[in-house]
Amino acid sequence: MEINYLFSWLKIRKSKPESRTSPRTLTLLQSLLQDLKSKGKPYNFVGSSHSYNGIQLVDDNVAVIFDSNDLKNIAYNYDTQEVTVEAAVTIEELKRFLQPLGRQLISSGNFMQQRVVGALVTGTHGYGVEDVIMADSITAVTLLDEDGCPHTLTEQEHGNVLKYVRVSLGYLGVIVSLTLRTKKNEQFEVTQQIFQLSQLPQTLAQYGNKAHAMTMFPYSDKADPFIGFISLDKLDQYKEPAPVNRANAFVTAISWVIITFVWKLNAQLPIFQEFLQMLIGRFAPSVEPEVIVTSPDDLDYLYDYHPMLESERNPSIPQRILSSTYTAYNVAVFIPKADLPDLLLFLFELAQKMKQANPQQYFKNSIGVRYVGQSQKCAMAGNYKQDSYAVDLFFSKTDLELAEQVQDKVAQKFKIRPHWGKTILKPEVIQNINLDDLKEFSNLRAKYNPSNLLQPNLGGIKF
């Protein structure tokens, strides 16, 4: 019998499980766990993933997949303003459930097809300054141990344990439901501007404690590269967002033809991306700062005023062309806030050296930087008790070895921590997490899964 492969995001890596199954109900799931234990069969739980490294890849084990089962219940508590979701619910489904209630997630990643449980337990982060790691908003978790027995852990009664379970990396148990705090739909005033690297310190002094993100263009100017900068200010009173620009079907179709053509051209001729960045460097000085007001019920990220998902909006040709999502993959790490200026300078210099050494080897597209603050509630998060930035480095799909070399160079100079879904997981990254927390995490593993049959999808990393 032919076994279907499991692929990582962008199908860069694949794995071949022994078999795959998708139990439709909680009872069937519990029976499956009991059966796997009795047979001594190792297994992995797999959800929707946008990782490329090793997470969600399963070799030789039984792959248990939350994809088409019945564990999709969502319940909202009007008294506590919390929402409880089961294992097969996606981020998009949860957002659409909350929208008519006038509520939204406190923070959210922008890959809407991820399962909520999978996104949270791997430390997915969003945007803002409040509970930026999505799992920070978890108030209760129900997980199954290796015998299929449920354990419900709450913030009030099990706070010391829950801080390890929130970001558990598929390592402690099978999470079947979790409860999250929500917030009232909010509006933001978003400032978008572009400037050169030399202006970054004064900009950070002005915006450093606000929600902000940056896009770096290492080949836009050899001496002083350009940075696209976005900052968010929450509005206390309602403001009318800009009207939605709804182009007709013909214009939308033509836009997608142009975008698709450029993406294909870029995939065949990587040097084209460098040319685009050179154009940014030429025209950036004439670009004035732009301020927009967001819609309070926007389903996607907070820097747009259209109350939909990005995929449902009319495409912006310049933004889509410069998007790395369809042309590259990224290595991502967490870096202490104080180290960011030095890291960016280091990366810009490295980008130029790489290109000089081999014209075919250079950073693909841009460098993404997002302020993620610090988590007080997720001991395994990369920003636990450390004010941090998430830094994304983009490369061509075929440049896995190059990406690993770049991460090694960064790790030699800076104390980086893992962005679990995207980091190339190595001891020099893992060891920057507090050793006492790692020990406690391992102790919980022994409590809930002493037989070690539930295998984490961590690319071989053992705690």
Average pLDDT over residues 203-225: 89
pTM: 0.90
Counts for the chain of helices (H) and strands (E), in that order? 12, 19
Residue 254 lies in a domain: yes
- Token pair for residue 457? 């999808």
Residues 84 and 61 in one domain: no
Pair 343, 272 in one domain: yes
Query: Are 356 and 315 in a shared domain?
Result: yes
User: Is the model more confident about 55 or about 58?
Assistant: 58
Model confidence at 52, pLDDT cuts 50, 70, 90, reads very low
Residue 294, pLDDT > 70, answer: yes
Residue 60 within any structural domain of the chain: yes
Query: How much is the pLDDT for 51?
Result: 43
Residue finishing a domain among 65, 91, 109: 65
**pLDDT, tens digit, 9 for 90 and up, residues 141-177:** 999 999 999 999 999 999 899 999 999 887 888 899 9
Same domain, 301 and 196: yes
Domain co-membership, 224 together with 269: yes
Range of the domain at 419: 188-429
Q: Classify residue 205: in a domain, yes or no.
A: yes
Same domain, residue pair 142 and 48: no
454 domain residue, yes or no: no
Pair (142, 243) in one structural domain: no
| Same-domain status, 151 and 197 | no
Which of 56-71 are b and which e, b meaning 16 or more Cβ less than 10 Å from the residue's Cβ? bbbeebbbbbbeebeb
Domain identity same for 364 and 248: yes
- pLDDT(366) > 60: yes
Residues 221-242: pLDDT tens digits? 989 999 999 998 889 999 988 7
Residue 453 lies in a domain: no
Question: Do 89 and 228 lie in a common domain?
Answer: no
269 and 309 fall within a common domain: yes
Of 56, 54, 38, the C-alpha closest to 46 is: 56
Query: 442 and 379: one domain?
Result: no
* Domain presence at residue 415: yes
Number of domains within the chain: 3
CATH number for the domain spanning 59: value is: 3.30.43.10
396-402: long-range contacts, CB 8 A cutoff, minimum separation 24: 396/270, 396/327, 396/328, 396/364, 397/10, 397/12, 397/328, 397/329, 399/361, 399/364, 400/12, 402/354, 402/361
